[in-house]
Chain A
Amino acid sequence: MSTRKQGERNSKLSNTLFTENITFENKKFYDWVVTISFYAAIHYLEDFILPKTINSQNCINLNEVKSAYKMPRRHEARERLVWDNMSTDIAAYYSWLDNKSRFARYTTFKVTITEAEKAQDYLNKIINACTPPPTSKAVSQPIT
Chain B
Amino acid sequence: MNPEEIEGGTALFYKYIIQHQDQVSKHYIDGYYHVDIVAEAYNQGFKDGKESGKKDFVEEMRKNTLEKFFRRATQVYVLTKTVVEFLNRNKYKVVSIYLDVLAQCPRVIISINDSLLIDDEFVKTSYTKISEMKRIFSELFDSNLDMGLVSSDSLDAGLLKADGFGYSENLATNEHKKARRKK
A residues touching B (Cβ–Cβ < 8 Å)?
A: 70-73, 76, 83, 88-89, 91-93, 95-96, 98-99, 102-103, 105-108, 110, 112, 114-115, 118
Contacts and interface: CB of A to CB of B under 8 A. Distances in A.
B148 A99 contact: yes
Nearest to A76: B144
B118 A83 contact: no
Given A72-B104, A93-B123, A107-B155, 17 more contacts: A72-B105, A72-B144, A73-B105, A76-B105, A83-B131, A88-B124, A89-B124, A92-B128, A103-B148, A106-B155, A106-B160, A106-B163, A107-B151, A107-B154, A107-B156, A110-B153, A114-B118
A108 B157 CA distance: 11
Nearest to B118: A118
A88 B154 CA distance: 29
Contacts of B148: 95, 98-99, 102-103
Nearest to A119: B118
A95 B127 contact: yes
Contacts of A72: 104-105, 144
A95 B156 contact: no
Interface residues of B, number: 28
In terms of DSSP, what is the predominant structure of the interface of chain B?
A: mixed
Nearest to A112: B114
Nearest to B159: A106
Interface in B105-164: 105, 109, 114, 117-118, 123-124, 126-128, 130-131, 138, 142, 144, 146, 148-151, 153-156, 159-160, 163
A106 B156 CA distance: 5
Interface of B: 104-105, 109, 114, 117-118, 123-124, 126-128, 130-131, 138, 142, 144, 146, 148-151, 153-156, 159-160, 163
A90 to B, nearest CB: 10
Given A106-B155, A118-B118, A91 B127 contact: yes
A76 B138 CA distance: 11
Contacts of B126: 92
A91 B131 contact: yes
Contacts of B146: 76
Contacts of B104: 72
A119 B69 CA distance: 37
A103 B154 CA distance: 12
A105 B150 contact: no
Contacts of A71: 138, 144
7 contacts: A71-B144, A83-B131, A88-B124, A95-B127, A96-B149, A106-B156, A107-B156
A105 B155 CA distance: 9
A115 to B, nearest CB: 6
Contacts of A115: 117-118
Contacts of A93: 123
